[in-house]
Amino acid sequence: MSQTQTSLYERLGRREGIERITRSILKNHLANPLIKTRYENSKDLARVERRVVEFFCAGAGGPETYTGSDMRATHRGMNVSEQEFVTVIDDVLAALEENGVDPPTRNEVLAILWSLKNEVIRV
């Protein structure tokens, strides 16, 4: 099956792969001096992780349902800067690479994340 015939969900390793990637993303965020306090100060980091897994799974074409708020509502009042947004994307791309995700699939995820920019920055 070619990449265009295989869903993004499948290429990311289904739920199990996305859970591993999400753990790597959060590890990267917690080690990143620019954004780590946003995650260290989270009241429920386990809930954040669950929502990220749901969002990633549902958005990648998996059968999971995302039960969180939309991106604009989730980030409203956080005043996320452009630099923080790019830093988050860099951490995600590093996690994808750490987990053996191939460059074309990483680029597809990058395009999806970049499309969310106006829903996250300074809302």
Residue-wise pLDDT tens for the chain (123 aa)? 555 689 999 999 999 999 999 999 999 999 999 999 999 988 899 999 999 999 999 999 999 999 999 999 999 999 999 999 999 999 999 999 999 999 999 999 999 999 999 999 999
CB 58 within 8 A of CB 98: no
Determine the pLDDT at residue 1: 52
State in words which class domain 9-120 has.
mainly alpha
Per the structure block, which two tokens stand in for 113?
A: 């994340």
Say how far apart CA 88 and CA 39 lie, in whole Å: 11
Helices 14-31, 82-98: crossing angle, 10 deg rounding: 130
Determine the pLDDT at residue 41: 86
* Domain residue extents for the chain: 9-120
Determine the pLDDT at residue 3: 55
